[in-house]
């Protein structure tokens, strides 16, 4: 029996709900009885209790029946809106906050060295390959240009310079107020310099240019300024709006001038934050620490975060167990525009996830469960779709070459970047598929999964990549038993290089054929117990006994086989050169005719050298 039709009001009233709302919360917001909502759901074939989470599509449909246009908002956004609805005066209770500065530029142009000069600390030399591997956040105090006795704070985000970190640089620009673009005076504008400019413009962030390495003999700051002008960054002394400071990170030259320009730019922006509201921020990095559990580096952008505060970040709920500042000190609370390590998470969030302190703990836990359930469903759906797509491709193209990768890294940001980098290596001949990824050491489970994948997937090979992590002792033993390949790295581009070489190794070797000589049949000799022998003259190159031969008649290949015998007079020969006569037989062939051409050739396997 069809469900009764309920008249929908001509004009729908808008109502906004928090994601993962229950039937009871839905009814309260719409000011209707929960039993009426349950009844309407039952009419649509949905069995639900008042404490059950509502599907967004069904909620909109039911909302229309009650005269409402239902929409859903993220829990963090709704929390902030509700907070201001309760205390509107809090909106005016704002203080000037420190600027958040992202350092960008081309690899090796001296971004980390410049930051070190500002912090008067040396960390660049300890980095693997000289490349910064993770976003680091540092808070520094500098003299106020207006009052040197007063100290002001600047927060620096150090983004990696390698091209594989383009995604990270984009994320850095989203949480930043000012971009310091580092350009080497001897090198000029490079591809990653242009990328950094594009990211800053996309985020609508002002740029301060630091022309570094002016101490070098071949430094040419004027050329750099002209190249930047061509990219739309015109120096303010030439009538433009871009501040440029010539510095030497190595000799700590003009560093104070650069800091002064950053503070002046911040003053123009008039940056404010409200320290009295519930803390909110963005995850810069997250990792799994063996001793401390899940740890997230969070940039607090508003409010004050205290030890003991309940929070939600991405799919995870937690309570602040400890706060550690950028100098490794335990703190009890931290205010706006401050980077801090947060302990007390139930899982590892993704870099870029929103961090929000909550007043309603039960609601936050409910949303966390809802999101985790939704993530599991999405992962299963993607896995099923991938399996079907793979089957379809294999049916279409025959057996397909695949390199299956299990990826483990020390932090979530590296996992994301490596997944992005390796997936892009896929070609029509060899595909790279990340079958498992995560943060932490390589476990026995990872090794067994790799072994099972090798056994069950034809046309594929599985490798485990560990980035800045090592296998557990048991995992190492099992890998040797199961013959699972584990590769350990600490530099991104080395991973990319090794995977590319592995893909090339999976390609079939190509067969190269070389014609070494030709012989013309001048006579056909009948030999008892042997059959016919072709009496030939070598007209080009030489004929080898070990070569293969084609018999060509009137430019058509009649037969193709190995050379059976090669004789000159009564002697067996290993080879006969051009200009000499000889007798040739081809295995399993006996029908020679005068004028036939015997073409000798050799084949060799050539390993693939490129994808």
Domain with CATH 1.10.10 in the chain: 13-73
What pLDDT was estimated at residue 395?
A: 39
pTM (2 d.p.): 0.61
The domain made up of 13-73 has a fold known as Arc Repressor Mutant, subunit A (1.10.10)
Give 418 or 459, the one with higher predicted confidence: 418
Identify the weakest region by mean pLDDT among 205-209, 456-460, 585-589: 456-460
Are the CB atoms for 172 and 135 separated by under 8 Å?
yes
Q: Residues 294-312: what's their mean pLDDT?
A: 91
> What top-level class would CATH report for the domain 98-270?
alpha beta
Domain with CATH 3.40.50.300 in the chain: 98-270
Q: Residues 32-46: what's their mean pLDDT?
A: 80
* Residue 112: partners with Cβ closer than 8 Å, 6 or more residues away: 103, 123, 124, 127, 132, 158
Cα–Cα distance for residue pair 52/163, rounded to 1 Å: 46
Residue 61: closest CA among 98, 103, 26, 24: 26
Paired residues of 465 in beta bridges: 407, 487
* Residue 373: partners with Cβ closer than 8 Å, 6 or more residues away: none
Are the CB atoms for 6 and 352 separated by under 8 Å?
no
What pLDDT was estimated at residue 453?
A: 77
Cα–Cα distance for residue pair 11/239, rounded to 1 Å: 55
Residue 562: CB atoms within 10 Å: 12
On the question of pLDDT at 398 being above 50, the answer is no
Domain with CATH 3.40.50.10050 in the chain: 399-506
Q: Residues 174-182: what's their mean pLDDT?
A: 86
On the question of pLDDT at 245 being above 80, the answer is yes
Domain with CATH 2.40.30.10 in the chain: 280-368, 510-606
On the question of pLDDT at 225 being above 60, the answer is yes
As its CATH architecture, domain 280-368 has Beta Barrel (2.40)
Are the CB atoms for 421 and 450 separated by under 8 Å?
no
Q: Residues 1-18: what's their mean pLDDT?
A: 61
Highest mean pLDDT of the ranges 132-141, 334-343, 460-469 = 334-343
What pLDDT was estimated at residue 92?
A: 55
Could you give the angle at the alpha carbon of 192 between the alpha carbons of 102 and 246, nearest 5°? 60
What pLDDT was estimated at residue 10?
A: 55
Cα–Cα distance for residue pair 312/318, rounded to 1 Å: 6
510-606 maps to which CATH number? 2.40.30.10
Beginning with the edge strand found earlier in the chain, give each strand of the sheet holding 178-184 in spatial order.
136-143, 151-158, 100-105, 178-184, 207-212, 243-246
What pLDDT was estimated at residue 506?
A: 61
On the question of pLDDT at 473 being above 90, the answer is no
The domain made up of 399-506 has a fold known as Rossmann fold (3.40.50)
Paired residues of 157 in beta bridges: 102, 137
Phi and psi at 272, nearest 5°, equal: -130, 155
On the question of pLDDT at 346 being above 90, the answer is no
Q: Residues 114-121: what's their mean pLDDT?
A: 75
pLDDT band, residue 88 (cuts 50/70/90): very low
pLDDT band, residue 397 (cuts 50/70/90): low
Give 426 or 429, the one with higher predicted confidence: 426
Helix (H, G, I), strand (E, B) or coil at 536: strand
Mean per-residue pLDDT of the chain = 80
Are the CB atoms for 608 and 511 separated by under 8 Å?
no
What pLDDT was estimated at residue 598?
A: 96
Q: Residues 121-149: what's their mean pLDDT?
A: 60
Identify the weakest region by mean pLDDT among 73-77, 127-131, 239-243, 506-510: 127-131
* Residue 363: partners with Cβ closer than 8 Å, 6 or more residues away: 18, 75
Paired residues of 17 in beta bridges: 72
Tokens for 498?
């090794």
Helix (H, G, I), strand (E, B) or coil at 106: coil
């Amino acid at each position: 029996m069809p469900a009764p039709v309920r008249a929908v009001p001509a004009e729908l009233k808008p109502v906004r709900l928090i994601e993962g709302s229950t039937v009871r919360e839905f009814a309260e917001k719409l000011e209707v009885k929960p039993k009426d909502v349950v009844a309407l759901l039952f009419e649509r074939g949905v069995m639900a209790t008042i404490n059950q989470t509502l599907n967004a599509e069904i909620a909109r449909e039911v909302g229309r029946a009650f005269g409402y246009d239902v929409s859903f908002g993220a829990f963090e956004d709704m929390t902030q809106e509700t907070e201001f609805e309760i205390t509107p005066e809090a909106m005016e209770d704002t203080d000037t906050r420190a600027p958040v500065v992202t350092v960008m530029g081309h690899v090796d142009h001296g971004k980390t060295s410049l930051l070190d000069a500002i912090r008067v600390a040396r960390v660049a030399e300890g980095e693997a390959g000289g490349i910064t591997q993770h976003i680091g956040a540092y808070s520094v105090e500098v003299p106020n240009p207006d009052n040197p006795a007063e100290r002001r704070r600047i927060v620096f985000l150090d983004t990696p310079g390698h091209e594989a970190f383009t995604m990270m640089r984009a994320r850095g620009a989203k949480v930043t107020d000012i971009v310091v673009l580092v350009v080497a005076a001897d090198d000029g504008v490079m591809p990653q310099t242009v990328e950094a400019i594009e990211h800053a413009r996309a985020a609508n962030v002002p740029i301060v240019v630091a022309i570094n390495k002016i101490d070098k003999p071949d430094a040419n700051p004027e050329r750099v300024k002209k190249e930047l002008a061509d990219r739309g960054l015109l120096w303010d002394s030439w009538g433009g709006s871009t501040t440029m400071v010539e510095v030497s990170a190595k000799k700590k030259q003009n560093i104070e001038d650069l800091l002064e320009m950053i503070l002046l730019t911040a003053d123009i922006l008039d940056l404010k934050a409200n320290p009295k509201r519930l803390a909110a921020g963005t995850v810069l990095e997250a990792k799994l620490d063996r001793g401390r559990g899940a740890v997230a580096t969070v940039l607090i952008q508003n409010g004050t975060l205290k030890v003991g505060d309940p929070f939600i970040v991405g799919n995870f709920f937690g309570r602040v167990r400890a706060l550690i500042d950028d100098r490794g000190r335990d703190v009890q609370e931290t205010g706006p525009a401050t980077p801090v390590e947060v302990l007390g998470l139930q899982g590892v969030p993704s870099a870029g996830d929103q961090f929000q302190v909550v007043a309603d703990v039960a609601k936050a836990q409910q949303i966390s469960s809802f999101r985790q359930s939704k993530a599991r469903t999405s992962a299963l759906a993607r896995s099923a779709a991938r399996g079907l797509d793979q089957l379809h491709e294999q049916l279409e193209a025959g057996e397909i070459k695949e390199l299956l990768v299990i990826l483990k890294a020390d932090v979530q940001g590296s996992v994301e970047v490596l997944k992005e980098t390796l997936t892009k290596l896929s070609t029509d001949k060899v595909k790279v598929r990340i079958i498992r990824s995560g943060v932490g050491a390589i476990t026995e489970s990872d090794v067994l999964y790799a072994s099972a994948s090798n056994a069950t997937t034809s046309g594929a090979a599985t490798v485990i990549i560990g980035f800045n992590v090592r296998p557990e002792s048991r995992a190492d033993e099992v890998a040797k038993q199961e013959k699972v390949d584990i590769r350990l790295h600490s530099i991104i581009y080395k991973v990319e290089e090794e995977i590319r070489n592995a893909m090339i190794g999976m390609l079939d070797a190509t067969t190269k054929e070389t014609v070494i000589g030709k012989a013309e049949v001048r006579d056909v000799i009948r030999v008892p117990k042997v059959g016919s022998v072709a009496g030939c003259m070598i007209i080009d190159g030489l004929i080898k006994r070990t070569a293969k031969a084609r018999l060509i008649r009137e430019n058509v290949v009649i037969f193709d086989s190995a050379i059976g015998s090669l004789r000159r007079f009564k002697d067996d020969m290993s080879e006969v050169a051009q200009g000499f006569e000889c007798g040739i037989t081809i295995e399993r062939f006996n029908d020679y005719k005068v004028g036939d051409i015997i073409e000798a050739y050799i084949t060799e396997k050539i390993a693939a050298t490129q994808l």
